[in-house]
Chain A
Amino acid sequence: MMKVKLAKSLMENEEGTNHLWIKILPPVPLTAKKVQIDIRLPNGVSRLNNLNGYHEDKLGTIFIDDFSKGHDVVIEIFTEKPIPCFEGIIKIDLKYKDKEDQTKMINHCIPLIITSEDEMDNLEIDNEVIEQVKQLLNGSICNKDIEESEFVIVTPKIQNVHNQISELEKNIELILASIQK
């Protein structure tokens, strides 16, 4: 079984962000290996890789082979260019192997209401999802450009300068001063 929720009850049809939270529950064995999740989004809605860092292939299938990070998966979904306002469906397929090594599949659907910015006054926020999102986001990642760019760690160059004039420097200064005289 799985529990699926959205951070926002409504999502803007242009430049909108939302988060999809999937919680994996029994009878999916919580020690299961090779759990796969496929997510199908309505047209015009895109997504980033899962925030939990689980491996995804080129088709966007999420592979969970270690439940030590928890049993939750959070995915950022978004709209960019304007799309028509409608009530779409997000479809989630979860595959796993049971104790007898048989492949089992569970499906889940959740409605996604796409609306214009002017209609967002009735927005409701799911705090349980938001708390997960805030823990997983680092404040700058909410941006497709960042997601697609390489992350480079640069160590700042810091040189220590002793706040003392060495004896040699003092001697040089004295010599220079005497020459200038």
Chain B
Amino acid sequence: MNTYTAKQITEILQKEDMNINLRTVRYYTQIGIVPTLELAGNKRVYTDKHLHYFRAILTLAKTGESLATIQERLEKLSLEDIKKIGDQLPFYQSNKILEHESYQVNEDVLITLSPRISAELKQKVIKSVSQILKGEQNK
């Protein structure tokens, strides 16, 4: 089991471009937004579970929901689902929203492409995905 201090948790999240500081990590822990810390010997430590919680909180925060609502939502989810929410955070970083373009192929499929992708390649990607989906629909 990986264990971390509050400072290490903050550094990991900051390296992932997340806007959080040490005092916020501590405060969310103290007021019970993230699960109680684990005991390692006589020390209370953070684990990967806490990292997933922080990532999920920061992702849901992008929707503008209150901390109370976020906490309520997370309480109903499994750790696996909380991890999935946190994994989506990179898609909601402001630089990505500003630069990337999203193409809605259908109501189930959304393609997000960076500006580095050429116009020609964009068309190929969209067309390929469209055709795959069309093939699936015709099955």
Give chain A's interface residues, CB within 8 Å of chain B.
7-8, 12, 15-17, 78-80, 123, 125, 130-131, 133-140, 142-143, 145-146, 152, 154, 156-161, 163-165
Q: How far is the CA of A139 from the CA of B61 in the complex (A)?
A: 5
Q: Which of B32, B67, B137 contacts A139 (CB 8 A)?
A: B67
Q: Is the CB of A139 within 8 A of B27?
A: no
With both beta carbons as reference points, the residue of chain B lying nearest to A131 in the complex is identified as: B68
* Shortest Cβ gap from A7 to chain B (Å): 7
CB within 8 Å for A140 and B23 given contacts A133-B67, A158-B104, A164-B134: no
| Of B66, B103, B130, B134, the contact of A136 (CB 8 Å cutoff) | B66
Residues of chain B within 8 A of A17, CB atoms compared:
23-24, 26-27
Q: How large is the interface on B (under 10, 10 to 19, 20 to 34, 35 or more residues)?
A: 35 or more
Contact: A139 with B70, CB < 8 Å? Answer: yes
Q: Does B12 interact with chain A (Cβ within 8 Å)?
A: no
The reply to whether the CB of B30 lies closer than 8 angstroms to some CB of chain A is: yes
Instruction: Say which residue of A79, A134, A160, A164 sits within 8 Å of B104 (CB atoms).
Output: A160
Residue of A whose beta carbon sits closest to that of B102: A158
- B60 proximal to A (CB < 8 A): yes
Query: For window 87-135 of chain B, which residues contact chain A by CB distance below 8 Å?
Result: 94, 97-98, 100-106, 110, 126, 130-131, 133-134
